[in-house]
Structure 1
Amino acid sequence: MELKVYGIKNCNTMKKTFDFLEGEGIVYEFTDYKKSAPDAGLLVKFADKVGFEKLINKKGLTYRKLDGEEKTQLESEDSALALLSKKSSMIKRPILQFPDGEIMMGFDPEAIKEKIDSIDK
């Protein structure tokens, strides 16, 4: 099983992630939310590992454009995950799923390398 990377291809943070992984020779499988929206099952798996609140990118344009009712939906896990599935640009990026099942969110080259090294041993 290889590293799985989830996000949006044209995101600057994703580009940094791809460059880093390729520079390190790390094999990965990429899922682009724009081409394949995440289903509820996948989001539930992520939420079980990191908490649904951490999946929400509150710094992005998609979040800032939400109306009050939609922001209220983000207060409960079920409605938040349903909204994230519809508005996948609002999911923090990248999400990395390692072969051991651990999830890491965001681009942290040192942490990624450390985790990959610990798996390879």
Structure 2
Amino acid sequence: MKITLFGITSCDTVRKARRFLDQQGLDYRFHDFRADGLEPSRVDDWLRQLDPVALINRRSTSWRQLPEAQRADLGPDAVKALVLDNPTLIKRPVLEIDGRIEVGFSPERYQELLAS
């Protein structure tokens, strides 16, 4: 099983998800958006599986600081451009398990994904 957790180290929710994975004794890779960057092909993969709106944290300060015109267009191409320019717009964490994607953290949901 290949597991990658994407996020930023300063995010409390990412810390909870990392603690959960550690407690489960799972071998995973942590990818920090700020330190490691974000590849366009990765975002393309996510957007093939997710509704573009699900990838955006619309409660974040980064989101509220965007001009209204950018917040109005949430199509795949616009979301891709937004998150590549500002990865902190991504709802965190993003968990990839063998190519499947989960956005946000829920211990119950993580248990389900890991069991399947």
Report the TM-score, using the length of structure 2 for normalisation. Answer: 0.92
User: Unaligned stretches of 5+ in structure 1?
Assistant: none
Amino acid at match of 2:103: M
Q: Secondary structure at the match of 1:79?
A: helix
Q: How does 1:78-97 map to 2 (within 5 A)?
A: 78-97=77-96
Task: Determine the C-alpha separation between the residues in 1 that align with 2:37 and 2:84.
Answer: 6
Q: Alpha-carbon deviation of 1:39?
A: 2.0
Paired position in structure 2 for 1:75: 74
User: Unaligned stretches of 5+ in structure 2?
Assistant: none
The runs of at least 4 aligned residues of structure 1 exceeding 3 Å deviation read none
Q: Secondary structure at the match of 1:75?
A: coil
Amino acid at match of 1:79: A
Q: Secondary structure at the match of 1:96?
A: strand
Q: How does 1:5-16 map to 2 (within 5 A)?
A: 5-16=5-16
Asked whether the 8 Å contact 2:52–2:74 carries over to 1, the reply is no
Identical amino acids, percent of aligned pairs: 28
Report the TM-score, using the length of structure 1 for normalisation. Answer: 0.89
Count matched residues: 116
